[in-house]
Structure 1
Amino acid sequence: MKANVVTSRYVLPAVLQNVYQRPSLRLYTSPATQASSSSVQAKPLSEIPGLSSLPIIGPLHHFLPVVYRAEDPNPLRPGFESMVNYKTKDNMTVADGVFGLTILQGAQWRQFRTKVNPALLKPKLVKLYAPALEGIAKDMVERLTKLSYDYLENNFDVEMTKFSLESIGLVGLGSRLGALGDDMTDDHPARKLMKCAKDILQLSFKLEVGLSPWRYISTPTYRKLMRTVDTQWEVSKVFIGEARKQITERGHDIPEEEKSIIEKLLAIDEKVAISMANEMLLAGIDTVAFATTNLLYRLGTNPKAQDKLREEILSGDNNRRYLRACLKEALRLNPVVSANLRHTAKDHYVAGYHIPKGVDVVAPNEYLSKLEKYYPQPTEFIPERWLVEKTHPLYYGNAHPMVTLPFGFGVRSCIGRRIAELEIELLVATLVKDYLIRWEGPPLKIVTRIMNKMEKPYNFRFDRIN
């Protein structure tokens, strides 16, 4: 069956439509429409409205996702096919059959997720890691405000990557990595991990766009990806081994709620710990760096919101509701990933159409989140929409709950959300407390590959307040 394709100005949807060589679909329905389990008079996939509605976007402005609500208990989310190929068909040996959440599917994914959930989803994790992560935030602010603006214009993304690596390294590998120092040579472990995370995303994107000869023969790009994956595993293994040594040398057990993520993962299996550490490095470095930069940009271009946030921080209010609202609003406008994707594991009957098993369903949440019908003044940065009463016209709850999903949906939502939010909030709070953030230049440009990416220059200015 021929897929019904909607053209997009973004690169990501094109990848999702073509690379996996199976039918793709952007599926939405109005809030009043319910998914039906009946196949009576259901129209086929090929008859779902396409480009005739509007140029470029097709019928997207009329629809909302429902298949996600009725998804399988083990939802399928395609992606990183080249890494799947390496770790399965090409017998990646270092992992010894232990694969992470990024590439696992179905029952295997659920089994692994069930193993690691207790280590990463406890609310008390925030309390456990906050002091150490706040220390990293303070070190980062001190470093950031000493660097020249000429340097930051072209390297702000590099500095944010160092910050996110240092933070996620503490959580996933059990120690500070030294990423914020000035002595990071090319063979420094932190430098290697930064390069691995970046190269894995870039190489995967390159391999999975367009022709895919690597599926049949080993190409140079494919072999480079394999070497990069192996390097990341080996470097992580060294840190995990050091963490295990420190735990052993401690000589006594501690209460479960005081155990670190790495200690809990090591209690399961060392390879599970290494695999999960690599997952956190792959998913947590560029994502946190992007989200942090995004929020700083929004504050730098919205001085009233920044002043209000500073008042909250200086008041000592530990709830920091306005800070969290600012982060939600920044991610509504520019999420790390512009769309969410599922691969249907069963047939669905939606709005009178039959959506068969084996179709990629794409929800372009970034696009939907900027529609007037869901959010008044949709392109404006208004954190208050996340705080006002339900009767207020700006109230975020007036939008369909599936419109804005920066951390995904359901059981396949981001497992590291609590830690990621904590890292971002601590850095922004530390910076805003003592510095005025300004943006001096044209609007920041963002392009989409697998993830959203900002284009240089970065026109930030940081002025000490007192």
Structure 2
Amino acid sequence: MDVPAFRYQLLNGFAAIAGIITCYIISYAIYNVYLHPLRKYPGPKFWAASRLPWCYYQYKGQLHYRLLQLHIQYGKTVRVAPTELSFAEDDAWKTIYGHRKEEMEKDPIFRLHTPTGAQNILVADRETHTRQRRLLSHAFSESALREQEPILQLYARKLLDQLSFHCTTGPLDMTAWLTFASFDLIGHMSFGENFGCLDKGEHAPFVRAITAMASELTFNQMWKYWGIMSIRQYFTPKGLIGQRVKNIKTAMQTVQRRIDNGSEHRDFLHYILSANDEKGMSPAEINVNAFSLSIAGSESTATALSGAVFLMLTYPSVYQRLIHEVRSAHIGEEEITLASTHKLEYLDAVITETLRLYPPVAITLPRRVPLGGQIFNGQVVPGDMTVGVHHYSTYHHPDNFYRPNDFLPERWLAGTRDALPFSNDNRDCMQPFSFGPRNCLGKNIARAEMRLLLAKLLFKFDWRIESGQEQWMEQQLQGFWQKKPLFCTLKPVER
């Protein structure tokens, strides 16, 4: 065969393969749009045909904004991918995440996986989750919280001392300082070890890598969906690859030091180890749980605190009412305790409204419908479909909350929440710590930490946000918020 004839046949072969692939893609899209079991659910046709639009916005860190737009346009139930429905309503919380005889398992494609493969409480199957939660519940009980107050007070004091020292030099990046405090505190409570962020005024390497780890995980989930994990290094930014494996090793070393050396503090590991009988956790499970709790507990609290500072300073009337409540309830800083701040109704409302407008967990936590199917709003969703409540869309939907984009803590106060204009708010749809048997174990500690730190900061300093930061909350979201610096001028209160 001469060369021109060979080339002609080769080109014909490539054309045939390209034609087959094109026909498959078109047929797949047509099936998804017009024949798929979810075809009757509202949503844009392009999103129903392929997960490409979903992945595009996820890659850009803009998926939360786009899903909110879709929910406002199409309703509280939207088809956002060929096999996925997104919900923005309260009933879906109970149906998807509530107590059920047959649990809706986490979606196997978008399910989180630990770097070592061991199960932690965030990713575990039902049996393992029940066993681990039994052990961890002791560490998050009310009595444990009271025993851990000295640790909270210690790092609150360190934060105030550092801010008092540095505030004389000019505006401070409160995103950074609140992150330092949260990670130091949770590191002590998790491992009995101080990361040293507050002492040095800088991120420890482990802390600095948290955002990169979240982004790496987000990219890995997309590559897993498309079946291209083996070549993910060609699509994932180089700075993200391997961050989770690197940092789990650091956490494992820290856990082992804590076990070998012991601790005088009743940290999380104290409760895990003291109850670790034959039905307890393996060393690998202890490592991944300590690693995950230190990240989840610190990053989410730092995010909420940063958001609260931005919002209260952006709404002067809220700020004035807050400082009046905190300062009139305490004569001295030493009086500010977990018990005293628990009585501050307006501060608690500010925290709740912050969690609505700027939820630390703003994404969907996807679940898989059991094979028998599930009824949603009178319609059967077939088994093996992906469903979930999208936090950000639910909390910002105008059908769920009055003036959903405004910071209005009054909507949570006992004296005003049941009267107009807030009486029609769908408060049940807001579940910032998730819902059901897998809800956040640390929600009481998180709220207590936020109340204590904010109360002490408001008592100690007069605040002013620097100009040019009006759009601070317009951030990318890749697992965690990609937080920007938040510059504030602090001035110690003269008494």
- TM-based fold match above 0.5: yes
Correspondence for 2:142: 123
1:322 is the counterpart of 2:346: yes
**Distance across 2 between alignment mates of 1:233 and 1:271:** 11
1:236 is the counterpart of 2:264: no
TM-score (norm 2): 0.70
Which string of whole-angstrom CA distances, capped at 9 and with x for unpartnered residues, describes residues 90-131 of structure 1? xx4xxxx632123323433333333322332x1123212222
Correspondence for 1:309: 322
Correspondence for 1:282: 295
Flag the 1:456–1:393 CA change in 2: closer, same or farther, 3 A. same
In 1, are the aligned partners of 2:188 and 2:267 still within 8 Å (CA)?
no
Give the CA deviation at 1:17.
5.1
Which of 132, 157, 180 does residue 198 from structure 2 map onto?
Answer: 180
1:160 is the counterpart of 2:178: yes
1:376 is the counterpart of 2:392: no
Amino acid at match of 2:187: G
Which of 424, 435, 441 does residue 409 from structure 1 map onto?
Answer: 435
Amino acid at match of 1:410: G
Secondary structure of the structure 2 residue equivalent to 1:361: strand
Give the CA deviation at 1:426.
1.9
Flag the 1:397–1:242 CA change in 2: closer, same or farther, 3 A. farther
Flag the 1:148–1:80 CA change in 2: closer, same or farther, 3 A. farther
In 2, are the aligned partners of 1:136 and 1:166 still within 8 Å (CA)?
yes
The 5 A counterparts of 1:90-239 are: 92=116, 98-120=118-140, 122-147=141-166, 155-182=173-200, 191-209=204-222, 212=226, 214-216=228-230, 219=233, 227-239=242-254
**Distance across 2 between alignment mates of 1:198 and 1:240:** 22
Give the CA deviation at 1:191.
1.9
**Distance across 2 between alignment mates of 1:337 and 1:423:** 17
In 1, are the aligned partners of 2:167 and 2:489 still within 8 Å (CA)?
no
**Distance across 2 between alignment mates of 1:424 and 1:391:** 22
In 2, are the aligned partners of 1:205 and 1:449 still within 8 Å (CA)?
no
Greater helix fraction, Structure 1 or Structure 2: 2
Aligned-residue Cα RMSD (Å) equals: 3.7
Give the CA deviation at 1:172.
0.7
Secondary structure of the structure 2 residue equivalent to 1:338: coil
Which string of whole-angstrom CA distances, capped at 9 and with x for unpartnered residues, describes residues 57-87 of structure 1? 3123997243432344544334885863x75
Correspondence for 2:307: 294
Flag the 1:181–1:359 CA change in 2: closer, same or farther, 3 A. same
Flag the 1:308–1:192 CA change in 2: closer, same or farther, 3 A. same
**Distance across 1 between alignment mates of 2:436 and 2:318:** 31
Which structure has the larger Rg? 2
Secondary structure of the structure 1 residue equivalent to 2:387: strand
**Distance across 1 between alignment mates of 2:257 and 2:475:** 39
Correspondence for 1:260: 267
**Distance across 1 between alignment mates of 2:104 and 2:127:** 9
Correspondence for 1:36: none
Q: Gaps (5+ residues) in structure 1?
A: 8-13, 20-50, 185-189, 251-257
**Distance across 2 between alignment mates of 1:59 and 1:113:** 36
Q: Gaps (5+ residues) in structure 2?
A: 1-35, 45-50, 57-66, 78-86, 331-339
Secondary structure of the structure 1 residue equivalent to 2:178: helix
Amino-acid identity (%): 17
**Distance across 2 between alignment mates of 1:108 and 1:417:** 21
Q: Compare 310-319 and 271-280 and name the one that shifted more.
A: 310-319
Correspondence for 1:364: 390
**Distance across 2 between alignment mates of 1:55 and 1:308:** 34
The 5 A counterparts of 1:340-351 are: 340-346=364-370, 347-351=373-377
**Distance across 2 between alignment mates of 1:202 and 1:176:** 25
**Distance across 2 between alignment mates of 1:324 and 1:417:** 13
Amino acid at match of 2:302: A
1:463 is the counterpart of 2:479: no
**Distance across 1 between alignment mates of 2:88 and 2:449:** 35
TM-score (norm 1): 0.74
